[in-house]
Amino acid sequence: MSKLIFLALLCCLPSAFVSAQASSTDEHVTGMTAVGTVGAGPSCPLIVWFVEPDTPAAQAGIQPGDLLLAVDGHRGIDAVQAHPFLHSKDSKPVTLELEGEHGTYTVTVGRVKESILLKRDGWKVGPDGSVYAEDATDAEMKRVAAIKEPPASDRIFDHHYPKNTELYYPGFEALVLQDRHEIVVWAMEDGGPARKAGMHYGDVIVSVDGVSPQRKSVADLEALLSSSGPKAMTVVINRDDVTKTFKFDLIKAADLMRQNKKRFYEGKIIPSVVPDAYLHCFESKH
């Protein structure tokens, strides 16, 4: 899922990161991503995670790590409650009160259609409201939307990253679909080599450096898709009965995590911009 414009939610479960999906309608947004803990109350305000360049939020001077104190006068609201204010069906500006490095400030922020930002970053919203690569076909989107996620034990690089962030990897999470006997690309990180090379969500992995992934354990698959040092990798995939080959250099997980403003905290991934004073908002008790 693209980080671009979605309000990120941290739920109460330990495994924790989910992103609010784009709606099937073309909403107007500020170009800012905020993260918060659902139902945490005013002691855990929303925190600005990303501000996309050349967007109304960027032009207003909003910075990652700023606290979002009020949205159109509404205080103490969590990510779910803030969503309808930050994603609007019309272009009416929104007034935000924030606290940044130099104190509290209030700005009125315009909006831009989310489709414009998605297209700029190579994405589009599919019929099911999920985000897909801009060149994904209707058949591909329909197939991927029908995939049912298996249990967490069947995830390769759960939370999108290897637990050992010193490893080099392609920049995606994969799913083992036991009912189909397939290993498919699932969550792709922005800036990762696989996404840059043109791989898509739902691509079925046929081979990695000439080795079939079939009948391998999750641990073996993670070893197959990673390296202790820099390495070029060749991945062959099947996309709706079309075979494609991608070759790219792996990236160190720690570098990609830093680039995407993420870090591990208490065994889960949280935004790296969260001030220390608010780390308690992202602990499992919430």
Amino acid, single-letter form, for residue 179: D
Low-confidence stretches of the chain (pLDDT < 50) are 1-24, 286
Amino acid, single-letter form, for residue 236: V
Q: Give pLDDT, residue 6.
A: 37
Alpha carbon distance 255, 253 (integer Å): 5
Q: Which two tokens stand for residue 111?
A: 């909006």
Q: Give pLDDT, residue 152.
A: 66
Q: What is the DSSP letter of 133?
A: E
Q: Give pLDDT, residue 153.
A: 67
CATH number 2.30.42.10 is the correct assignment for the domain at 8-116+260-282: yes
Q: Give pLDDT, residue 29.
A: 92
Which of the listed CATH numbers 2.60.40.10, 1.10.260.40, 3.30.160.110, 2.30.42.10 matches domain 135-249?
2.30.42.10
Provide CATH 2.30.42.10 ranges for the chain.
8-116+260-282, 135-249
Ramachandran sector of residue 266 (left: φ over 0; alpha: ψ -120 to 50; beta: rest): left
Look at the chain and count its residues. 286
Instruction: Give the chain's count of helices (H) and strands (E).
Output: 7, 22
Q: Give pLDDT, residue 156.
A: 95
